């Protein structure tokens, strides 16, 4: 194992940044094509690698991963049409874990929610007759209820994981 804690923190931050660069490149490729995806990785690696703060372990080097991972997972779930309960559970879980490190992940989550709401409004407006709109609204309400269940379950699981990691593995003293 690594005995020097500072070195371990630097390595952990570096791994986070590498994963974030990869996810950013793949997301850019999916959204804009191969050329933009590769350019995003090259420019990101250049700018982050040339920064003197790269080797200083602080919350930004750990927090940079979570908003990018959130957008990456959203695109991944949309691309492969993953069930919305699983999608929202995972997105909320990543948001909660990211929030415990750096609260800026909430902006990425809010953007995803706004995109989804715009899609729902567009789908409801696209229905021609009243009966179709009424059915679409009922389905939307039912999906929203299931979505809320996924979000609540994910918050409970992630908050339990965060509180468990903060407590650590301490021996329990059962003596009276």
Q: How far apart are CA 32 and CA 150, in angstroms?
A: 30
- Mean pLDDT estimate for the chain: 77
38: pLDDT strictly greater than 60 = yes
- Which residue has better confidence, 133 or 149? 149
Q: What is the maximal distance between C-alpha atoms in the chain? A: 72
Per-residue confidence (pLDDT) for residue 55, from 0 to 100: 72
Q: What tokens appear for 91 in the block?
A: 């997105």
- Quick check: pTM over 0.75? no
19: pLDDT strictly greater than 70 = yes
Per-residue confidence (pLDDT) for residue 137, from 0 to 100: 63
130: pLDDT strictly greater than 60 = no
- Cβ-proximal residues to 73 (8 Å cutoff; 6+ apart), any chain: 90, 91, 94
Please report where in the chains the tokens 């350019």 appear, as a residue: 39
Question: Is residue 72 packed enough to be buried (19+ CB in 10 Å), middle (13-18) or exposed (0-12)?
Answer: buried
């Amino acid at each position: 194992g690594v005995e020097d804690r500072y070195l371990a923190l630097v390595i952990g931050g570096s791994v986070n940044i590498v994963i974030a660069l990869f996810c950013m490149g793949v997301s850019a490729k999916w959204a804009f094509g191969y050329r933009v995806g590769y350019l995003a990785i090259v420019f990101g690696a250049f700018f982050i690698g040339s920064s003197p703060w790269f080797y200083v372990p602080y919350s930004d080097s750990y927090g940079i991963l979570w908003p990018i991972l959130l957008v990456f997972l959203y695109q991944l779930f949309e691309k492969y049409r993953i069930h919305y309960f699983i999608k929202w559970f995972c997105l909320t879980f990543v948001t909660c874990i990211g929030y415990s490190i750096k609260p800026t992940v909430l902006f990425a989550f809010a953007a995803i929610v706004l995109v989804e709401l715009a899609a729902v409004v567009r789908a409801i407006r696209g229905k021609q007759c009243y009966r179709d709109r009424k059915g679409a609204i009922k389905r939307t309400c039912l999906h929203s209820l299931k979505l809320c269940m996924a979000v609540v379950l994910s918050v409970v699981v992630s908050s339990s994981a965060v509180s468990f990691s903060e407590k650590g593995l301490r021996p329990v003293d059962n003596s009276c």
